[in-house]
Amino acid sequence: MTTSPPSVADGVRPEVAEALERTRAGERLGERDAKLLVMARGAEHPAIWAAAAALRDQGKPPIVTYSRKVFIPLTNLCRDICSYCTFAKEDGTPAAHTMSPDEVLAVAEAGARLGCKEVLFTLGDRPEARYESYRLQLRRYGYESTQQYLRAMCELVLEQTGLLPHPNCGILGRRELSELREVSPSQGMMLESTSERLCGPGGPHEHAPDKRPATRLAMIKRAGELGIPFTSGILIGIGENLEERVDALLALRELHEQYGHIQELIVQNFRAKPETPMAESGEPGLLELMTTCAIARLVMGPDANIQAPPNLSADYGPLLAAGINDWGGVSPLTPDFVNPEAPWPQIDRLAELTREAGYTLTERLTIYPEYVWDDRFLAPAMREPTRRLADVEGLASAA
């Protein structure tokens, strides 16, 4: 079906219609156009969604992917303090917990029985820098750092269950990333934002040294240099302005154009959580989330993988009309420990909504199909364990 470009008659400003026309013609979206689109008004929103959806359909098959996984919150201690976070707990409080190797293995084995293929390790950033008792606990397990412990747990689940680990543990140095690459096919860390203001007094990242934009961008660059398929993305609604939102997308595009390693870009919407300093802050609505997803698609281009988590929007089906092609990790077993108030949708429901939009819900691995058969992006030791779970297209095999 062909659609005519939006026009002034549709309530779309001429400059917006022209910018969208340029993307339709295959032009790379420039900073000026991206910053114009992010200021969309009224009927311009659906015009932007439609342009993004058309770009997705141009570059992607008619499938929407997800990864069937278990979440392992290896430790919920963290050296940072972010104003919106309920994941991190203070050491010594009842909810603080570092999982033992036995606990890790029990969750991974339960996931394997339910057909999961990924273990997503979520954890706080370098808690050993803040807590003496945690350092002692690590030593009792036989490790000097969280990264060493994480690496060992990746190896454990890989060897014992065959599930593919995806570590997401904050800022790491080159050697640390490289060591994790030996035991996992992909890694991740949200960029969140490139706004320095958020690190200033009163900002959500004032007490989070690992959230400095330059620190995060440098780490994502290191991952690119090492050939690590990398998941990143932006967190919207934490105090950044609309132009800063575009700056973050452009920064990720620049790194991806250099290294080709951003396998997936997540657009995550801030959810206000009780008992946090940002409990009363406004949350981005569905329209704003859709337009941000659409701009992410237009910035990153037709081949990119753009994800929005389905459990963070009451009505997530419309996100497909804004150019996303992935729902992220969905667990039949473990809750979303970062957003525990937001349960995962049933996979059947996700499949139904996806079908209604004209696409087929399809399982992928933690590493995206584009990277599975490309030796540049997998350590030799990870090729067989990864590829044994994949089909010829790099998606999760049905067997």
Interface with ligand SF4 (CB under 6 A), residue from 17, 19, 82, 234: 82
How many residues make up the chain in this entry?
A: 399
**Sites for ligand SF4 among residues 324-353 (CB under 6 A):** none
Token look-up 């660059």 returns 221
State in angstroms the smallest separation of the CB of 84 from ligand SF4.
7
- Binders of ligand SF4 in range 84-143 (CB under 6 A): 85, 87-88, 124-125
Q: In the complex with ligand SF4, which residue's Cβ is closer, 80 or 247? A: 80
Q: How many residues bind ligand SF4 (CB under 6 A)?
A: 11
Provide, rounded to whole angstroms, the least separation between the CB of residue 124 and ligand SF4.
4
* DSSP assignments along 219-241, one per residue: HHHHHHHTT--EEEEEEESSS--
Q: Does 63 bind ligand SF4 (CB under 6 A)?
A: no
The letter for the amino acid at 198 is: L
Q: At what angle do helices 286-300 and 242-259 cross, to 10 degrees?
A: 30
From the CB of residue 168, how many other CB atoms can be counted at a distance below 10 Å? 18
Name residue 279's beta-bridge partners.
Answer: none
* Minimum gap (Å) between residue 323 Cβ and ligand SF4: 27
- Residue 369, C-beta contacts closer than 8 angstroms, at least 6 positions apart: 390, 393, 394, 395
Q: How far apart are CA 109 and CA 185, in angstroms?
A: 19
CA–CA separation, 78 and 96 (whole Å): 10
Residue 76 DSSP SS3: coil
Q: Select the residue interacting with ligand SF4 from 43, 54, 63, 81 (CB under 6 A).
A: 81
CB of 122 to ligand SF4, least distance (A): 8
Rank residues 29 and 191 by Cβ distance to ligand SF4 and give the closer one: 191
Interface region with ligand SF4, contact rule CB under 6 A, candidates 73-81, 134-142, 252-260, 268-276 = 73-81
> Minimum distance from CB of 339 to ligand SF4 (Å)?
11
Residue 78 contacts ligand SF4 per CB under 6 A: yes
The answer to whether the beta carbons of residues 281 and 36 sit under 8 Å apart is no
Of 42-50, 75-83, 292-300, 364-372, the window that binds ligand SF4 (rule: CB under 6 A) is 75-83
Q: Quick one: three-class SS letters along 176-202?
A: HHHHHHCCCCCEECCCECCCHHHHCCC
In whole angstroms, the minimum distance from the beta carbon of 178 to ligand SF4 comes to: 22
The footprint of ligand SF4 (CB under 6 A) covers: 78, 80-82, 85, 87-88, 124-125, 208, 210
